[in-house]
Structure 1
Amino acid sequence: MKFFAINGSPRKTFNTAQLLDKSLEGIKSILPEAEVERIDLYDIPFNGCKSCFACKRINGRHYGRCVYNDDFKPILNEVTQSDGVILGSPVYFGDLTGNMRCFLERFMFPFLAYSNVETVNHKRMPLACIYTMNVNDEASYRMGYHELFDKYESTLERIFTKPEHLYVHETYQFKDYSRYVSDIFDEKERRHIRETQFPQDLQFAFEIGQNIAKKSMRLIF
């Protein structure tokens, strides 16, 4: 069995990456023999959907598959045939990062059918989404984050299965706040959240990984 964590952050060792790594640990705690891999999207030169519509051609040999031949194609093929995927992205300007949006275009669009059939995907897999952000819980609702991300998750559910999700708020953004202009943040408060809440968020991510492993076993067996 093979599971992927997709890192939509350009940072490889901070909040989003740590949560994804912890979720993969959760998978391994249930399925020790499973293969797990984290993919850092910002390491891969790729684009979003090209609107060639080869994946929609009637009787086309690429129907339901992304035809665009780039460095990302073999990775995409492997991810779409895996046993579970965990997506992670920081929030940039009230949305997912650009690279995560590009990933989702390539990941989802080939499987969406312009017909009464909801999806042409025959590989059901469990999914989870992890969102990291500067704002607190109340602000994330007020600013429409949940409404927006629910739309992404609704499309993922239509194609694969209903995703679990984790919102991680008021993240510690720098290792040394004194080096950056960041007057609007209370560094001591952020550090306190980092020391008290973030360990709980890591545990939630671990449990999400466990749930993904358990769901994959039910789908297969």
Structure 2
Amino acid sequence: MMTIIAVNGSPRKNWNTGILLQKALDGAAAAGAQTELVHLYDLSYKGCTGCLACKRKKGASLGRCAIRDDLQPVLERIGECDGLILGSPIYFSEVTGEMRSFLERLLFQYLSYDQERVARTPRPIPSAFIYTMNVQEAMLTNIGYTARLEGYKSLLERVLLSPSRSLAVTETLQTEDYSKYHMSMFDEVQRRSRRQEIFPVDCEKAYALGAALTAR
């Protein structure tokens, strides 16, 4: 049976990013895969420390991260999985700090500094990245988001040795009650309308994305 792992880089487990990741896993499960959802904010870990143990000649950790913390068993399971789905809100034009630290640990262990530049990934891992954000879709290119998301796609494909897909979900609902916060720049009525009309479509896209990861 195929195994598809989703990694949630949002601090809010059951909000936009978490909902979309679960929909993607539902799509994978419907196609016959075994699924797992990992919440990064539940784990105690840090980013790459630059120890280079994963690149040491004849080293015990060659091609594997040597840091022993909560992330280590997750990295081991990902190395054996058949598909990986990442999800993160965009904060200050980037994925969350937890997601970035996770990506450092996941990808640097496989990245090759040899002239051949062949990654030490144990097996090709198809991947997908779901992003949630406040900005309008029409603004993605103008503010550099399109290039940034393409950069992550290229990086995942180069290191995980398999195609990667992306889903950008824009103008998300930030809170159930806007009246509690200084957020007057956002149109609450418009955001709620998108939540009811557009977000279900995004969920369908996430479902299809998850199902597509099981295709070989």
TM range (shorter): over 0.9
- Note the residue ranges of structure 2 that are not aligned, 5 or more in a row: none
Number of equivalences: 213
Structure 1 equivalent of residue 151 of structure 2: 151
Contact 2:24-2:211 within 8 A present in 1 as well = yes
After TM superposition, the score normalised by the length of structure 1 is 0.94
Contact 2:25-2:35 within 8 A present in 1 as well = yes
Structure 2 equivalent of residue 204 of structure 1: 205
The CA deviation at 1:118 is 2.7
CA distance in structure 1 between the partners assigned to 2:137 and 2:173 by the alignment: 15
CA distance in structure 2 between the partners assigned to 1:146 and 1:46 by the alignment: 29
SS at match of 1:213: coil
Superposed CA offset, 1:18-43 (max 9, x none)? 00000000001111xx3211100001
The CA deviation at 1:207 is 0.2
The CA deviation at 1:110 is 0.8
The CA deviation at 1:9 is 0.2
Q: Give the % identical residues.
A: 43
Question: After superposition, where does 1:24-63 map in structure 2 within 5 Å?
Answer: 24-31=25-32, 34-63=33-62
CA distance in structure 2 between the partners assigned to 1:91 and 1:111 by the alignment: 25
CA distance in structure 2 between the partners assigned to 1:174 and 1:47 by the alignment: 29
Contact 2:79-2:121 within 8 A present in 1 as well = no
SS at match of 1:17: helix
CA distance in structure 1 between the partners assigned to 2:154 and 2:83 by the alignment: 17
Richer in helix (by share): 1
The CA deviation at 1:140 is 1.8
The CA deviation at 1:129 is 0.4
The alignment's C-alpha RMSD in Å is: 0.9
Structure 1 equivalent of residue 141 of structure 2: 141
The CA deviation at 1:46 is 0.5
The CA deviation at 1:159 is 1.7
CA distance in structure 2 between the partners assigned to 1:157 and 1:52 by the alignment: 24
CA distance in structure 1 between the partners assigned to 2:7 and 2:71 by the alignment: 13
Q: Which runs of 4+ in 1 moved over 3 A?
A: none
Amino acid at match of 1:106: R
Contact 2:5-2:35 within 8 A present in 1 as well = yes
CA distance in structure 2 between the partners assigned to 1:117 and 1:50 by the alignment: 21
Structure 2 equivalent of residue 163 of structure 1: 164
SS at match of 2:128: strand
2:189 is the counterpart of 1:179: no
